[in-house]
Amino acid sequence: MCTNEYVNCEYVFNWKIKNFSFCWQIENEKICSPEFSAESIENTSWRLHLTPKRADGCVSYYLCRLSKETGPPEVEIYYDLIFLNANKSVLNEMCNLKNIYPKGTSLGFHKFIAKNDLILPHDTLTVRCKLRSCEKTTNVVEQFARTVIRVDQKSVDWNISEFRKMKPDEKKSISIKLTSAEDLLSLDLFLSAGEYTEKIVFVSISSSLKSIKFVTVKLLLKDTEGNTVECGQKEFYSGEVEIFKIIPLTFAKNKLLRRKDLYLKDDQLSLCCETAFTTGIAFEGIERTISGNFNKRDEDNKILQKNILSLKDDVKSLYNDPALSDTRLCTETKSYPAHIAILCARSPVFKAMFSSDMKESIRRKVDILDLNDDTVQRMLLYMYTDTLENLQWESALSLYKAADKYNIVSLRNQCVSFIERHLSPINVCEALELADRHQDEDFKNILQNYIVNNQGEVLDLKEWKLFVRSNSELAAESLLKICMEY
């Protein structure tokens, strides 16, 4: 055990990466943290390396000792490698690692976390590394660094005239200049050939990127009232000069013609092309350093956690005690007491109900006849305690519907995460139908990507064949995605 106060210290390095999804480094390319020095570990200097967009869908994480520094040829260290999101929730961690580090050595994990598991509010990832020269420490030096990836956006309206007269061999084109450095996107809209019963609408995109390192292209369909719905998306990297990518849009020509009053005023199809792109890093550096007694900080954290748990217990006591309730949620068979203040704080839908002259506000009663007792009870428990108990596949699907209906975003995200973790070739179609019904494009993309990655198993099952019969357009959309990926 360390006895010297100078050595008996943990060094914590926190590196926040803003706009992480716009990291342009792929395969063997890496994004590097600012350098940091650990005086408490024999004046050694370090850096963190991430490979954010590997071809296998994983993110690599390495702790690297610099080759040009004044420390000894080798040091033995204990260390932890951690990923956190913007809400400080742990996404993955590898703790109590121990290695001998020669100068110029990089050690870590080739597959630290799957990219699909990176749930990042505000698109911000915090990478944390804890270094120490012995197992137990009493003091801490903590440093905070930040890398901000610059992201610019550009939106262009694309109006296609005489859409009804378009032939399969005809193209409608537009060019978009993203910067003053001749970074260009060229888009061509065309129809599918005769093998499709309904003419699928495609957009091919080619890019010529000089100063731009990474760009996302999102296409939206606009109706006559100005509403938009996403209908396709692709991304390009700086090395892909003059590379063509084809997006099958999520609608067919016949479908538009059937609703021409909404989508084809004066025979004009209106699209919006939204681009977001990065030319590199806007800021990187170490912002502040703090130091103090580790045990004292740990005690303070325990007190804080205890207070938080106490608050949660106090709010849960309201859930368990109906004496002060001032409204009821009624299913077909049961009535559940609730508190208007809690409902309004957790759901903007409930807030709108009780902030107006709607019957629910006057009667102090909300009829929820489309949800079963178990779902309403689970929803209430989450609204009071932020917890989910004994969630299963069917209850997660039902709870997702409830969360979407009452716009409880955090609950909906929790359900999506649970469903994603429990996907199988047998149940993915059921989840995809749910996501489509609720117009949840992010959820739908997760499920369609699962089908793409597991097509050999999914497409051979009877569940898929039944899904094709009952959801032909959605199945065709998923098959087109498979075709575009391979």
Give me the count of residues in the chain. Answer: 486
User: pLDDT exceeding 90 applies to what percent of the chain?
Assistant: 37
pLDDT at residue number 167: 85
* DSSP helix/strand/coil, 451: helix
Give the pLDDT band of residue 1 (cuts 50, 70, 90): very low
Residue 27 has pLDDT above 50, yes or no: yes
Please tell me the predicted confidence (pLDDT) of residue 2: 45
For residues 3 and 136, is the Cβ–Cβ distance under 8 A?
no
Confidence (pLDDT) at 354 = 85
State yes or no: pLDDT of 316 exceeds 80: no
pLDDT digits (tens, 9 = 90+) for 195-218: 545 678 888 888 888 889 999 999
4 pLDDT above the threshold of 50: no
SS3 278: strand
Res 47 pLDDT > 50: yes
Q: What is the pLDDT of residues 108-158, one digit of tens each?
A: 999 999 888 888 878 899 999 999 887 666 678 899 999 999 999 999 999
**Banded model confidence at residue 6, pLDDT cuts 50, 70, 90:** very low
Out of 222-236, 318-332, 370-384, pick the least confident.
318-332
Asked if the model's pLDDT at residue 23 lies above 90, the reply is yes
Number of Cβ within a 10 Å radius of residue 374? 14
Residue 219: name the closest of 264, 273, 256 by CA.
273
For residues 333-348, average pLDDT: 88
Cβ–Cβ < 8 Å for 191, 166: yes
Exposed e or buried b for every residue in 401-428, given b needs 16+ CB within 10 A?
Answer: bbbbbbebeebbbbbbebbbeebebeeb
**Which of 166-175, 247-256, 345-354, 427-436 comes out lowest in average pLDDT?**
247-256
Tally of CB atoms within 10 A around 318: 18
- Cβ-Cβ contacts under 8 Å for 149 (sequence gap 6 or more): 17, 18, 19, 20, 22, 23, 278, 280, 281, 282
Q: What is the pLDDT of residue 156?
A: 93
User: Residue 277 — pLDDT band, cuts 50, 70, 90?
Assistant: very high
Residue spans of alpha helices (H) in 243-385: 253-258, 260-263, 294-320, 340-346, 348-354, 359-363, 373-385
Is 385 within 8 Å of 371 (Cβ atoms)?
no
**pLDDT higher than threshold 70 for residue 317:** no
pLDDT in tens, 61-75: 999 999 988 889 999
Specify the pLDDT at position 312: 62
Tell me the longest C-alpha to C-alpha distance in the chain: 84
Which run of H or E residues covers position 251? strand 244-252
pTM value is 0.60
CA distance 389 to 403: 16
- Greater confidence, 360 or 460? 460
Give the DSSP letter of residue 238.
T
